[in-house]
Structure 1
């Protein structure tokens, strides 16, 4: 089969590899599209160490071609979206059956766009922060895959006011299509908020932004962290200060959840799929690349040039 391989020299190449076979609890999927996400930049840049050569790709859509022990053989041929630990940028990928969900009539291209972003956004709004009706929300990386989905999900959950932060005017204009009430540019944060406080803040940035977010929490507010786009610098928090205002600092890690409680992550995928199927949640794919163009696609994501979601066309 054809697959993309990332070598020790940090270069992507197309290679011919043997097709993988599913083990117990796994399925083999003939890939139609692979989603491109921030984990791909982390692997390329060495922040997420993996043995090289490595076949990248953590999310895909396609049809189940074979099943392993313990998986219903009737699933062969089923169109699915899947989350993987590696290998989605290939003609066939092996993935956990529990995280390979049937998509019904949703197009395969759209299904690949859900990836890790859709269950992450769903959980940030509904599970981690437990957003309540009428509460205010601040969302960083507003124009990205998670940000555009989280804004829609916050609106569906009854948020009273949704504010986003974006890195450029073009990204702010794009994010405005997804239900934000206000969008600030990154260099306007936090001064441009004029002293506003928020019940929920979603922060994938880290560093100085995280410290500012703690100050922006209203009493009983929840800051949910789910990444470190800007820096891995640790942020020190005085729990006594949090206690006095009833504030909470919550960490969300979808990769960890997939290994400790995959059924919880699968439930969030199902809920996101249902919202997509009935038209209440929009996955916006703005770029589609060929298998041989993965290097370009990952670089564009790293540079902040991707709006919404980009995918790799495999089949």
Structure 2
């Protein structure tokens, strides 16, 4: 089969490999599309210490072609979207059966766009921050795959005001399509928002942005940290200050959840998938690449030129 290997010299190369066989609790998927996500940049930059060479890729759509022990053989032939620990940039990929969802009539290209971003955005709004009707929400990285979905999930949850923060004017204009009341530029943040406080802040950025966010929480507000796009330096929070205002600093780690409680992540992914299938939520795929262009695609995500979601066409 054709697959992309990421080697010790940080190069992506397309090569021929033997097709993998599913182990217990796994399925093998004939991949149609693979989603590109921030984890690809983290692997490339060494933040995930995976042994090299290896086949990267964490999101796949296609059809199940084989199952391992403990998996119902009637699943063979299902059209699916899957969250994988690696290996999605290949003609055949392995995935945990528990994190492989039947997509019904949803197009495979759209299904690949769900990826980790859809259950993450769903959980940030509905499971972690538990937004209630009328509450206000601030979403950083508003034009990304998680940000565009989070804004839509927030609207469905009854949020009264949804504000986004984006890095450029082009990204702000793009994000505005997804239900934001206002999108401000990162260079204008936080001054542009004045003294406005928020019930929920979603922060994948870290650093000074996270520190400002703690100061922007309304009484009983919740800041959810789910990444470190800008810096890995720790942000210190005084629990006495949090207690005085009833505010909370919370975290969300979908990768950890996939290993500790995969059924919970799968349930959120199913809810998100159903909302997309019912056209209540839109996944916007803005770029499609070939396997040979993977390095370009990951770099574009890194430098901020990617809007919404990108996918790789496998077969």
What TM-score do you get using the length of structure 1 for normalisation?
1.00
Matched, 1:169 2:146: no
Deviation of the 1:16 alpha carbon: 0.7
Matches within 5 A, 1:212-227: 212-227=212-227
* CA deviation string 1:17-37 (max 9, x = no partner): 110000111000000000000
- The residue number in structure 1 matching 2:132 is 132
Shift of 1:48: 1.3
Root-mean-square deviation over aligned CA pairs: 0.4
Partners of 1:78 and 1:136 in 2: how far apart?
40
Query: What is the alpha-carbon distance in structure 1 between the residues aligned to residue 70 and residue 78 of structure 2?
Result: 16
Measure the CA separation in 1 of the matches of 2:86 and 2:100.
Answer: 14
Query: 2:101 maps to what in 1?
Result: 101
For 2:243 and 2:253, how far apart are their aligned partners in 1? Answer: 24
**Alignment partner, residue 204 of structure 2:** 204
1:277 matched to 2:266? The reply is: no
How many residues align? The count is: 315
Query: 3-state DSSP class of the match of 2:222?
Result: strand
SS at match of 1:296: helix
Matched, 1:251 2:251: yes
Per the alignment, residue 151 of structure 1 pairs with 151
CA distance in 1, matches of 2:183, 2:16: 46
Distance (Å, rounded) in 1 between the aligned partners of 2:230 and 2:306:
16
**1:10-57 residue CA offsets vs partner (Å, 9 max, x unmatched):** 010001111000011100000000000000001111111111001110
CA distance in 2, matches of 1:48, 1:303: 19
Runs (4+) of structure 1 exceeding 2 A deviation are none
How far 1:234 sits from its partner (Å)? 0.3
Say if 2:302 is the partner of 1:302: yes
Q: For 1:42-81, what per-residue CA distance to the aligned partner results, in whole angstroms no more than 9, with x for missing partners?
A: 1111111111001110001000000000101000000000
Query: Per the alignment, in what secondary structure is the counterpart of residue 88 of structure 1?
Result: coil
Deviation per residue, 1:220-252 (Å, 9 max, x gap): 000000000000010011101100100001000
Q: Kindly state the Cα deviation for residue 279 of structure 1 after the two structures are TM-superposed.
A: 0.4
Deviation at 1:194, TM superposition (A): 1.2
**Secondary structure class of the residue paired with 1:219:** strand
Q: Displacement, 1:121? A: 0.1
Distance in 1 between residues matched to 2:248 and 2:285, nearest whole Å: 34
Q: Give the alignment of 1:28-107 within 5 angstroms.
A: 28-107=28-107
Equivalents in 2 of 1:118, 1:82: separation in Å? 12
- Aligned-partner Cα distance in 1 for 2:105–2:286: 21
The aligned residue for residue 192 of structure 1 is: 192
TM-superposed CA distance for 1:85, in Å, is 0.6
Q: Per the alignment, in what secondary structure is the counterpart of residue 131 of structure 2?
A: coil
CA distance in 2, matches of 1:204, 1:43: 17
- Alignment correspondent of 1:236: 236
Structure 1: segments with no counterpart, 5+ residues: none
- The residue number in structure 2 matching 1:288 is 288
- What SS is found at the alignment partner of 1:235? coil
CA distance in 2, matches of 1:267, 1:50: 27
Question: Deviation of residue 182 (structure 1)?
Answer: 0.3
Unaligned runs of 5+ in 2: none
Equivalent position SS for 1:196: coil
Q: Secondary structure at the match of 1:294?
A: helix
User: Distance between the aligned counterparts of 1:58 and 1:37, measured in 2?
Assistant: 8
CA distance in 2, matches of 1:173, 1:48: 33
Q: Matched residues in 2 for 1:278 and 1:286: separation?
A: 21
CA distance in 2, matches of 1:50, 1:22: 20
